[in-house]
Structures are given as structure tokens and as C-alpha cells.
Amino acid sequence: MKIERIDLYHVSMRLVSPFVTSFGPQQQRDCLLTAVHADGLTGWGESVATNDPGYSYETTGTAWHILSDFLIPALVGREIAGPEALGPALSFVRGHPLAKAALDQALWDLAAQADGVSLAAKLAEPYAEGAKARVPVGVSIGIQPSLERTVEVIGQYYDQGYRRIKLKIKPGHDVAVGRAARAAFPDLPIMLDANSAFRLEDAAVFQAMDELNLLMLEQPLGYEDIYDHSRLRPLIKTPLCLDESIHSDDHARYALAIEACDIINVKPSRVAGWTEARRIHDRCRAVGMPLWVGGMLETGVGRAAQLALAALPGFTLPGDISATERYYTRDITAPFTLNREDSTISVPAGPGLGVEIDHDYLAAVTLRRESFTTP
């Protein structure tokens, strides 16, 4: 494909309600979108970098800089074989996976459109099973002001049809949260997500959670750690999931080698895109490591691509890909809705991402836009 032009957007959208994690509260959701024009088609991608360097060292500011000054100039006017060729083409920039993922996603969208198939079908070409038409999903609940409110919010989402609940925790807001949730919902799959807020010395906290029959405990220790998780895992009975620690297929290989986890959460943006995410999928599927797709409050552009990834056969656990109404009153694509009868969301079946951009609303929420073409 010949890259003719790339448009870069900085958009800002208000969340339905504040999302509170161990990093703090978030009410406004900023991200970057890329529109890559090639061969008469337009592919869309999303960088989930936010305004502050809490989850990642990348921010909307750094991602704009890396994209506009380095990555995009390296692609515009260039012939590129396809999304799998993007990694080598951009290897001169070290790190910055959230910026790179926006271009990787857009190229996968283009490749699928060129073949007249959905992104899910394009990603699933190597697998005999093909792509799933619907994927199981859950909902992630931020830290609430009280245990009573936590239980109330769980009940609200349960009534909406969600059948897997994730609760954010932090030191001092941990075991009691899990106990309150389990007492109120004895049979509901519940997981706790620490977002790297604890240390190995806090093992007793997690041992106290063993009685709760949790689906999993997600990323309790350092955001780059694999080794200490391998030491924690034998000390607890709850399945241990890695999230922030897995930045690439190599990190998945390290985690498997030292038995650091029981489950892996794959956020495609965190690993520089869908190309690397599929490599992780293949590695883990080969050894029976359960996988699920994580979320970063994406717009409909990113959510469509998440669903396509989650449709691959190795993703067997419900992902954090909730319905649009969980996050936004209006999105830049048509809303994704929850299938209440089985807690799933349908995977877009149209060519590429399978979504249409609401250009009027995109313009309304765009803070900055720049187009890049050959000189």
C-alpha cells in the first residue's frame, strides 16, 4: 500500500462518570486518532495515551510529538507491504508503543478493507476456527467512596446484563472491597485489579483474598515487574494475571519461562498494536495460557479494533470492552451495545473496522488537527 496522507487528531471527550483507579480519578478522556490514506482507502487508528503519565510514560503530548515528528514522516509517501512490515519500518524509534499502535491499527484497517473483509476476519486468517461473531465482555468499576456504593454499582451493572465484574483496588482499599462484593454476589465472576499499587511485602493482603474465589488478581506488583510476580504466585491460590508487565511478545515469553502468572491481559496499544498482540496470542495459545483483551476507555475506533482482537480463538476470558454507554453519552462512531442475554458484544462484520466515523462530532471534540503529506 502507498501511504498518501496521514491526518492526526487530538480529541477530548467527557466520560459519563469519573473513573477512579489507584492512579487517581479521570473525568475527561483525551486521545489521538490517526487517519491513514492509501490506495483510495482510509484506515483509522487510536492512540490511548492520556494527559498524564500515570499508566504509561506516554501522554497525548508525547504521542503527538513522536507521531508528528518521527513516525508519520517516516511513512508518508512510502510504499509499505502491510501492517506486519510496520514494526521494522518504525524500529528506529525506541519504545512509544501507544503512539505506534495508532498507526498499526490503521494499517490493519486498510489491509482488511483492501481484501473486503472485517478486521476480525483478517486477523483470524491463520486460524482454522476463524473469528468469533460475539465476544464475552465484562465491566471495570473504578474505586467508589464506600463499600456500600461499590455493591450498589455492581448491582446496577449486573442488572444491565454484565456477568463479569472487575473492581479497582489500592492499598487500604483491597480485601474489604472483595469481601463486600463476594458477600453480595456469591456466584458472580469477580476480579480485582491493583494497577501495580502493591509490593511483594504485601503478600498477606493477597493471601487474605484466597477465600473469595476470585476469577483473578490483576497486576498487583510493579508495572514493569515479572520476577516478583513469579515469587508471589506460589504464595497465593487466586489466579494471577499480568497486565502492565507485558509490553511485548518477549515479555510474555519471559513470564511464561519463569511461571510468573496464570493469565495475561493483552492491551494491543500497550504492545504497539495488533501485530504484536497476535504474536502474544499465538505464543500463549500454544501453551494453554488464558488470555483476555484489556481496555483503555477507547472511543468507538479503538473499541471496534479491540473486539476484532478478542474474536481470535485464544481469547477465552471476558474482556474489558464494555458497551459505549458505559463511557460516553455520544461517541464518534455508532454505539456498541451489550447483548444482555449472554454478556457479549457483537464484533463488527463490515470491511475493516466496520464502523463509520461521525465526522461532525469528531470535529466538535477535536482540539487539534494536522495533515501530513509528501513535500
pLDDT, tens digit, for every residue of 181-214?
Answer: 999 999 999 999 999 999 999 999 999 999 999 9
Number of domains in the chain: 2
The pLDDT value recorded for residue 64 is 98
Where do runs of H (alpha helix) occur along the chain? 60-66, 72-75, 86-89, 97-115, 119-123, 147-160, 175-184, 203-207, 227-232, 249-257, 274-287, 300-310, 359-365
Residues 6+ apart with CB under 8 A from 115: 122
> Does residue 352 lie within any of the structural domains?
no
Task: Give 136's strand partners.
Answer: 344
Same domain, 111 and 131: no
Same domain, 163 and 308: yes
CATH code, 135:
3.20.20.120
The pLDDT value recorded for residue 375 is 74
> Does residue 21 lie within any of the structural domains?
yes
Residues 6+ apart with CB under 8 A from 37: 3, 4, 5, 6, 7
Catalytic residue among 132, 166, 168, 170: 168
> Does residue 27 lie within any of the structural domains?
yes
Same domain, 148 and 11: no
> Does residue 57 lie within any of the structural domains?
yes
Distance of CA 147 to the CA centre of its chain: 27
CATH code, 20:
3.30.390.10
Which of 17, 3, 13 is CA-nearest to residue 60? 13
Same domain, 39 and 148: no
Same domain, 76 and 196: no
Residue range(s) defining the domain that contains residue 323:
122-346
Q: Which three cell numbers stand for residue 353?
A: 473496522
The pLDDT value recorded for residue 22 is 58
Q: What is the pTM of this model?
A: 0.95
Same domain, 365 and 241: no
Same domain, 179 and 295: yes
Same domain, 96 and 166: no
Where do runs of H (alpha helix) occur along 161-296? 175-184, 203-207, 227-232, 249-257, 274-287
> Does residue 362 lie within any of the structural domains?
yes
166 has catalytic annotation: no
Catalytic residue among 100, 122, 132, 267: 267
267 has catalytic annotation: yes
> Does residue 351 lie within any of the structural domains?
no
CA atoms within 13 A on the CB side of 60: 20
In order along its 375 residues, the chain shows pLDDT tens digits of 999 999 999 999 999 876 766 566 667 899 999 999 999 999 999 999 998 888 899 999 999 999 999 999 999 999 999 999 999 999 999 999 999 999 999 999 999 999 999 999 999 999 999 999 999 999 999 999 999 999 999 999 999 999 999 999 999 999 999 999 999 999 999 999 999 999 999 999 999 999 999 999 999 999 999 999 999 999 999 999 999 999 999 999 999 999 999 999 999 999 999 999 999 999 999 999 999 999 999 999 999 999 999 999 999 999 999 999 999 999 999 999 999 999 999 999 999 999 999 999 999 999 999 999 987
